[in-house]
Amino acid sequence: MPAPLPPLPVEDLDHVLAHTDGLWASAKGAAFFITGGTGFFGMWLLETFARANDRLGLGMRATVLTRDPAAFAKKAPHLAARTNLEFMTGDVRNFTFPAEKFSHVVHAATTSGMPVSPEEHTAVIVDGTLRVLEAARRAGAKRLLYVSSGAVYGPQPANMSAIPEDYAGVPPADDPAYAYGRGKRIGEQLCLDAWQAGGPVPVIARCFAFVGPHLPLDAHFAAGNFIRNALRGEPIQVKGDGSPLRSYLYAADLAIWLWTSLFAAPGGRPFNVGSEAAISIADLARAVAALCGSASPIAIAQMADSDRLPARYVPDTRRAAGELRLRVRVPLAEALLRTIRWHTHVAA
C-alpha cells in the first residue's frame, strides 16, 4: 500500500496566503462545494483552503466530491481528518445533490485520468458541468469558478507568440486530440447560459501548463515524465522532436490565481492562467536533468524540421495582470526545483 503523501511545504502554503489574504474575508463562514478536489489542482485548493481557514479563523467549510473517499483518506489523511472538509462519494455526472446550501462552487473535475473515447471525453465534461450547475442552482450558490483550459482555443497559430482570451480559434471538430477542448468550450457556454437564467456568477479560468508537488509523474504531462525518468536514472524520453514551446506556472502561483479569480474576477469574463515564459520541450528535459543532478541521457525521438515553426501552447496573461494584478512569482527553475524536491521526498 502506498504511503500517505506529505502535506504541501509550509513555504508554499504561506506564499499562497500572503498573496490572497485580503480576499478571504468575503468568504468568512461560507460553505463551498468542490469537484476535482482530490487531483493535482484539487490538492492545492484543499490545502490552501485549510491554511487560510486556520490562519484567518474564517469558519469556512467545504464539501468535496470524489469517486473514492476511502482511497483519498489513505492518500491524504491530514486532509481527510479535517472536520471542516466533508468528502462525498459520487461521479460528477450523476452524484446525489447535496442537501446543504453553498455560496461558492469550484468545478475543477477533469477526465484526464479516465480511459474513455474522444466522444465520451467530451460528454463527461458536458454532463458533469450540467450536473454541477444544477447542484449550484439548488444550493443557492452565488459564485462558481469553472476551471477550463487553454485547449478551448484549438491549435495555437505558430506565429502567435502568446494566445489572448479574445482569440477566436476553436478546437477542430474532427480531431480526437481536441475532445477535451471541445468539452471545456461547451462547459464555459453552459456556465454563461446558467448565469443568464439566474444561476451563480461564473468565473472562467483557462488553465495552461503547470508544475509542482502532486504533479503526476506517470500521466501525459511532459514535465512529470521527465522528473520520473531523471529520479530513476533512466533515459529522459522526449516524444517528437522536442521543438514545441510550452510555459509552466508553479502550482502555488496557480492556487493564487484560482482563488483570486473566484473571489475577485468579473463574471463571465475568461482569464488565462499560466506563464508567458516559453521553453521548448527539449530544453525542459535538459533543465530537469540538470536540476535533478542526473546523468540520464536525453533521448529525442525525431529530428526537428528547421523549415517549420515550432508548435506553441503559451498564454497571453495581460488580462489577468491588468485586471486582477496577478503575475508569476516563482520562476521556472525554482518551480522545477521545488517540484523535484517534493517528489524526491515522496519517493524516499
Domains along the chain?
Answer: 10-210+249-276+312-330 (3.40.50.720)
DSSP 25: G
Q: Quick: pLDDT tens for 235-257.
A: 999 999 999 999 999 999 999 99
Assess contact for 47 and 7: CB atoms under 8 A.
yes
Assess contact for 157 and 233: CB atoms under 8 A.
no
Distance of CA 130 to the CA centre of its chain: 20
Spatial neighbors of 346 by CB under 8 A, at least 6 apart, are: 5, 6
Q: How far is CA 143 from CA 104, 137, 213, in A?
A: 5, 10, 28
Distance of CA 270 to the CA centre of its chain: 15
Element housing 224 (H / E): helix 222-232
Q: Which residue has the cell 460528477?
A: 92
- For the cut 60, the answer to whether the pLDDT of residue 115 exceeds it is no
Q: Quick: pLDDT tens for 262-299.
A: 999 999 999 999 999 999 999 999 999 999 998 889 99
Averaged confidence pLDDT in the chain: 94
Element housing 12 (H / E): helix 10-18
Please report how many Cα atoms fall inside a 13 Å half-sphere around the Cα of residue 33, on the Cβ side.
31
Percent with pLDDT over 90 in the chain:
87
pLDDT band at 346 (very low <50, low <70, confident <90, very high): confident
CA dihedral 75, 77, 80, 82 (to 10 degrees): -150
Position 221 scores a pLDDT of 92
Q: How far is CA 63 from CA 24, 38, 46, 84, 174, in A?
A: 18, 12, 10, 8, 38
Q: β-strand 85-89 against 104-107: which pairing, if any?
A: unpaired
- For the cut 60, the answer to whether the pLDDT of residue 112 exceeds it is no
- For the cut 80, the answer to whether the pLDDT of residue 310 exceeds it is yes
**Residue 291, helix vs strand vs coil:** helix
Average pLDDT over residues 220-247: 94
Q: Give the closest residue to 269 by CA, choosing from 190, 182, 206.
A: 206
Q: Quick: pLDDT tens for 1-35.
A: 578 999 999 999 999 999 999 999 999 999 999 99
**Residue 7, helix vs strand vs coil:** coil
Farthest CA pair distance, the chain: 59
Percent with pLDDT over 70 in the chain:
98
Q: Quick: pLDDT tens for 22-72.
A: 999 999 999 999 999 999 999 999 999 999 999 999 999 999 999 999 999
